[in-house]
Copies of this chain bind each other. A is one copy, B any other.
Amino acid sequence: MKSLRQLSPKEIRLLIRKGKWDKPTAGRAMGYAQANLVILPEEYAFDFLLFCQRNPKPCPLLEVLESGKFRTEFMSSDADIRTDIPRYNIYRRGKLESSVKEIKNLWQPDFVTFLLGCSFSFEEALLRSKIPIRHIEENKNVPMYITSILCKSAGMFKGPMVVTMRPIPPDKVSRAVQITSRYASVHGAPVHIGDPSKIGITNIHKPDFGDSVTIKKAEIPVFWACGVTPQAVVMKAKPDLCITHTPGHMFISDLLNEELATF
């Protein structure tokens, strides 16, 4: 029998669909793009789509399913968005109501589904180029910070950009910029390099989400836009109903990370 590490995206999605697997997806189906999920009723869909268009670094759209559609078309030909994600968070008016393994019974014909790129894709590319990723080395969550950089607002959706931080040795910063520039659809190039106070971060050792990681002597903190941004913005806007993946429990697509690279 195949070990879990060897399963294809489709095989993992089938396990998930049958309710046999509901764990975080990091390290699964290596090489394939994973995606953040946001489902909103149609009345909010135009403004959220516009918010993503205006803020492509924190909100890199990979696929949008029109009202009522629950089958993906581009990221996979056979995925069902109601069952194929390991865990879902249900938010009503911005408050977490429950965390569930499928949403068939909650599905509404006016639901619009957004799948957004995730930094797992560019981290794999960084690792392939021997650029160290501290939170992976230290077996932690990536540190995330709420910044003073304001997103461009769209209708009810507005708020600060959330960023991730990876400490990079001085001789590798340039290469890290080059590599992540290729992945515009998964947050792209850094939004800030160096002095955290310039983007409103007062204590680099106290992230707002995730874990603090070691910054070695001479290493430069490099900041990328983070997929937590759209979720924070949606929660703040308090739509009547919003369904997301549970953090870390992503949609696993059939697209190779390499297919997302722009050049």
Contact = CB atoms under 8 A, between A and B. Distances in A.
A152 B75 CA distance: 13
Nearest to A155: B66
Given A74-B152, A184-B262, A263-B181, A53 B61 contact: yes
B66 A154 contact: yes
Contacts of A154: 66
Interface residues of A, number: 21
Interface in A138-158: 152, 154-155
Contacts of A100: none
A155 B68 CA distance: 13
Interface of A: 45-46, 49-50, 52-54, 61, 64, 66, 74, 152, 154-155, 178, 181, 184, 188-189, 262-263
12 contacts: A46-B49, A49-B49, A49-B50, A50-B64, A53-B61, A54-B74, A66-B154, A66-B155, A178-B263, A184-B184, A189-B263, A262-B262
